[in-house]
């Protein structure tokens, strides 16, 4: 059984708000999402088998709540389910941002241990040292998972897309291989 909900509130509340605010921005939405997270924790706490993974479990619930928030708003407005990113006047950056939104569904197709490591490091910005602690594996094990996850993601990407980058590795063009048309 999960520690008392008050513990989570006292220890993680500020981190949850900061994490959601980075992803969402709007204070009202942040409060709504965090409230949903606490409701989900309360109703699903019996599913947590290893209390040592409490923090990663809470943040997984939080990431899912953020995704649900964007999906719900996309259906309401008929927009892209990913948050609108303010486009800089830099077309390379804009193309890279568009391409980045395509990668998330591809990451979800990876085997769980690589998907989880990539989501934590690349999407949530968690350091590999923190990943090792949260997943209860060695630091070198976390580095290997992230690296292998990147390699597997690259394989998936290259199977479906032709990607052109500039000398700095920024995506400047990408095409679907099967149709050879720009996304």
* Residues 6+ positions from 104 with CB-CB distance below 8 Å: 82, 123
What digits encode the pLDDT tens for the residues 29-82?
899 999 999 888 888 888 777 777 777 788 888 888 988 888 877 665 544 444
- Here the tokens at position 73 are 């708003």
Q: What is the pTM of this model?
A: 0.46
What the chain holds in terms of domains, given with CATH numbers, is 1-84 (1.10.1740.10), 85-183 (1.10.10.10)
Bridge partners of 175, per DSSP, are 162, 182
The label of the residue with tokens 């095409």 reads 175
- Beta strand ranges found along 16-58 (DSSP E): none
């Amino acid at each position: 059984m999960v520690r008392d909900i008050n513990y989570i509130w006292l220890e993680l509340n500020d981190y949850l708000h900061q994490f959601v605010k980075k992803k969402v921005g709007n204070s009202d939405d942040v409060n709504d999402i965090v409230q949903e997270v606490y409701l989900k924790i309360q109703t699903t706490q019996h599913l947590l088998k290893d209390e040592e993974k409490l923090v990663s479990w809470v943040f997984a619930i939080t990431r899912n709540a953020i995704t649900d928030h964007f999906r719900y708003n996309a259906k309401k407005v008929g927009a892209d389910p990913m948050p609108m990113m303010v486009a800089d006047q830099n077309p390379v950056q804009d193309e890279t941002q568009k391409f980045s939104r395509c990668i998330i569904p591809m990451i979800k197709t990876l085997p769980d241990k690589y998907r989880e490591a990539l989501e934590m490091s690349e999407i949530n910005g968690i350091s590999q040292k923190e990943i090792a602690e949260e997943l209860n594996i060695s630091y070198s094990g976390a580095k290997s998972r992230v690296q292998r996850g990147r390699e597997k993601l690259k394989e998936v990407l290259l199977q479906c897309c032709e990607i052109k980058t500039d000398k700095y590795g920024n995506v400047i063009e990408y095409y679907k291989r099967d149709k050879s048309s720009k996304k």
